[in-house]
Amino acid sequence: VVIGHVDSGKSTTTGHLIYQCGGIDKRTIEKFEKEAAELGKGSFKYAWVLDKLKAERERGITIDIALWKFETPRYYVTVIDAPGHRDFIKNMITGTS
């Protein structure tokens, strides 16, 4: 579970980790990069691996928890990205339980 203050880079770091570990392909990241750039949020390409809601992408914050599963040659990994904004603490608590 990834928890931290709002705008601390939780989704971006987690999305980048998923990409670096082979959990998502380069083509998808390039698609996110293009779409993010069109909204003036080019640096959000990795965050969009987990931030799927339109409101999340437009506002640049995680609103609801996101779960991602992938495998490496040695491990099965499950990542839960939780919102950091105080308005969405309930969603964070739900995601961690």
Per-residue buried b or exposed e for 69-81, using 16+ beta carbons within 10 Å of the residue's own CB: ebeeeeeeeebbb
Whole-number Å distance between alpha carbons of 15 and 11: 6
Kindly report the pTM of this predicted structure. 0.81
CA distances from 51 to 54, 74, 75, 83 (A): 8, 27, 24, 10
Whole-number Å distance between alpha carbons of 70 and 91: 23
Q: What pLDDT shows up at residue 96?
A: 64
3-55 pLDDT, tens digit each: 788 788 889 999 999 999 999 999 999 999 999 999 999 899 999 999 999 99
Q: What is the DSSP string of the chain?
A: -B---TTSSHHHHHHHHHHHTTSS-HHHHHHHHHHHHHTT-GGGTTGGGT--SHHHHHHTS--S-EEEEEE-SS-EEEEEE---SGGGHHHHHHHH-
Q: Where are the domains of the chain?
A: 10-96
